[in-house]
Structure 1
Amino acid sequence: MTNKEGILLSDQIFLRLNHAFGKVLNQLLLSFVLLLFTSLCSFAGSQEIDPSIKVINSDTSGITIEFELNGLEIKQREFNNTYYHLIKYKDCSWTSEVGKPQLPISSVFLGVPQSASISVNIINSTYSDDFGYLPFPASDKVLEKSDGIDYIADKFVIDREFYRQNFLYPSKIADIVYEGNIRHQRTVILEIRPVQYNPALKMLRKYNKITLRVNFSLNKLAPKSSPVIYKDEFENGYKSLLLNYDSAKSWRTSPKSVKLAPKSSMAESQSLKLFISKRGIYKLDYDMIKGSGIDPSKIDPRTLKITYKGSEVPIYVYGESDGKFDKGDYIEFFGAEAKNIYTRWNVYWLSWGGNKGVRMAQKSGTPSSSSAREVTFFKSKVRFEEDRLHHKLQHTESDQNDPDSWFESRDHWFWTGIENGSPKNEVTVKFPVYDIAQNLVKPDFKIELVGCTNFEHYVMISLNGHRVGEEAKWYSQEIYSFDGQVPIDSIKEGFDNELRLARIGMNLSDGKDMDSYPYQIYLNWFELGYYRKLMAVQDTLEFSAPEQKASKPLASITLEGISTLDRGRIP
């Protein structure tokens, strides 16, 4: 679709004249700000400030606040065969550091003097400690797609290293987490954290009552504030939003005129805004630029530039040497994928005029030696590992000088395993292998198994029905490792490869104390090393060149499955 405002090239790239939307954009931003505050006031007017948080005193020196913890609920939740604890109380929100314990918090808006420096100190608190808890970790937010529709989903993530630490989290039970202005009222958000957790001790500390002081350190040279009272919904919004509304309204400032920011050099010159959603090499030609409303014949291609996040990126411009952007001339550049849950686009700017732009270095890939040999495959190593099961491994021997070192030195998260008391007494994992090159070299194979029950283990390992090494033997919660080679036909192309672990015999722990020992043995990870074709998947292949000795000629490399470099263009 082409018009005077811009051109939609594909779902990967979008061009728009920078100067075409200036006036419209300013009007939209103004409308958005007014709508946002009106919505905030309407929302706040329907809310009640948390009754567990009370203002004891509020004046120009600070605010004294009292918090009482009521109705704390702790429930168990099973995830990947591990029991976690969900902790909450009425109207709470939660800590959100991904992978760390998700603990309940309360937040409240406070109005503060415009020029004051803010600090928080605890006056008094009472608490109790309970042990044996494992709070559920805060999830990551990832962008998923279903039926062509993008949505935000929760992804389970756990910071294993953090869950080994011996300190209280969060470190502060109250803190200022935001400062800003709502119109002419300076506001802060006070976050109260009445529940702390010590991962190493598995201890919850619950504060039944907290008395704190938010201190104001005033600047004597700052202009005096005066109350600015609004009508109707705006003032009702302040009243419902601010815990200390009565005193805070006298700390507002009168509106002042502000100067407009100077225009950037980018805004003064014509430029095209490029939206990139996928990683790859993109091509812009004469017709694309002309279709966006720009006359390419008036562009000196030697001055073409592309910037990303304020920095110029190297580009390739075909046909620039004559100083004219003619039919058949084009621009190529590398675009990065946006890895952000809040947008699908990375923004690049194409501009022209002034100094010459930065260009890609050109280097011939033709071997300089006539005796160079062609390489058709490379050595690939693939690691398969997932963290789904957790166990404390209490029978691991510890250092007498540092009895707690066993926990920090061992991996306590595992993929799967052979369940205790299971009649099947085995486990199978499927995994994919791609682009196997025909050769006579046996694949490399590594695996790590860990015992759970406190007895001797005997396990047979096989890949697609081919036995791996000798019978695996080890004792208790020690680690068993295999590092060797497997038969050439023990792996196959596609998704249907199978790793099978089978227990041999029985022991006295079978079917007993399954709460403490839910599994007999765990699979931690395995690695596969094999020769792989130089075959690109979705135009991408990461590889390293074979090691060369100075006396041997260089190798030439040919890639299969690579499409043309103009794949960013819609035909």
Structure 2
Amino acid sequence: MKIFFLLFFIFQRFTFELKDIKIERFIFDNKTYDFIYSPNLNYQYLPSLPNYEEFIFLDSDSAKINILNTSYEIKQDIFLKEEDNKKLIDIEYLGKRENKNLFKIIINPFEYNKDNKTLKIYKKIDYEIKEIKKLEKDTFRFLKEFPNKDLIKIEICSTGVYEITYKDLKNLIPTIDLLNPEYFSLYDADFKEIPIIILGEEDKKFDKEDKIIFLGKEHFSLYTLNNIYWLSLFNLNKGKRIKKYLVSQEKERVINFACESLKIEYDNLCPARSGVLWVSEEINKPTGVYKLRKEYKLSFLDNPISLKKIFLRFWPKNGNINLYIYLNDYLLDSLKFIGQPNYPRFEDFIKEKEILLKKDNTLSLEVVGSGEMVFYFDFLEIEYKKELIFEDKPIFFTIDTFGKVGVEIKNKSKEKEILLFDITEIEEPKLAENLYIDSSLISFAQYFFGKRKFYLLSKRNFKKAIKIERKILGKLEGEYDYIIITPKELYSSALLLKSYRQKTTNLKIGIALLEDIYDQYAGGLREISAIKEFL
């Protein structure tokens, strides 16, 4: 059977107009620079040219920008710290939100020429968004990759190295002993094959001591970080395996520190859903209260040395907001912004190069003033320098350097079976071989050509999936006049409803389990858009 995709285009036209531009001159390091400001733009730190961001929902998950017309002016004798020219208009797909596709439109209305000190300012830009929609699609596009629809569904909850044991599979596939593990394959929620390691596959049998090892990553949505993987045991071709690479102990210099970048969204209680959501926290200082302070423990920092960069995002709602930001009671900066209840826009804050404590670091937000001040704290991103110490937990770290460099990690774990993965390309991790490991030190050396990301752990740190089950895909085939969608916990009630409808109507009635819809139309992810696709 051949599947053809037919495409058509939907055009939406927009106009961007730039107003209220100010160019202010200042002195920095005994040099003169210009700072460009507009209340309608996002400006972050001095070397950056401000830009404009807009968010839009589209039916399609694919779109492109066409520029129709522009008008601009050129300013002479402008002194910027550096060139920061970017694409005039860009569009970025942010993923599914409920049943729509969310995009970010980024407009960079400034173009600076450092050689002749001129600044081109785009005052008006007419553009269109060309949305690409599919008229027909292959509902079972992923099933054609497998000889059959009999799969193992694996659910995980965080990023890390996971193990699937003989016992895990024996309970689901009693004949697992008869299968050749060389033909086992693992797929993500998009049904793209990802590499794995099978310990003990050399004898072409899956025995009691054998394990499947893979690097799983969390899936971000508003409601969960859980992700889904699919294990196929009955394949015609051999599965994809994690590649190995050889490290040495020969080096020109040694480092014992690295960096780590984190994005943190604090859990916030949502009484309407009887649980927590990753949503902005409302900070509300009422009239009559002069000062309100919120503290956030940075307990997730691992052996910190210094802060490289911290980024905070806020959404002002009501009032003239006076915000003071502290790190360990040291004032980082103060911000002033005006709440916009009907047309909220975010405000960003960036600070670089601050000292961190070895533990018990605290970020504090303090609002001061007599009137009402309401805003939302969305998230923080933090990049910091850390000492490399391996104790009882896995460590992520990033090294950005050049040359033949040795990396030394203090070993306080007393573990001997330690693994190092290069996860720079997280979909294609590589396992390092020839690590030096003793009771106090872990070391390796290799050529670095810029930034590399690593994940170090012991075999004791292997994670377990929160759920493993056998699934038969393709259950939703058939035509019905009336369909009852239900979670499996309410399946018995759905049967009663089906029986009642059949007695009172002449309709052909079917029952679709919500879990089956997620599996078949969203790769197992609990995305509400899967229900729309099903219907």
TM-score by length of 1: 0.35
| Structure (1/2) with the larger strand percentage | 2
TM-score, normalised to structure 2, is: 0.37
Which structure has the larger Rg over C-alpha atoms? 1
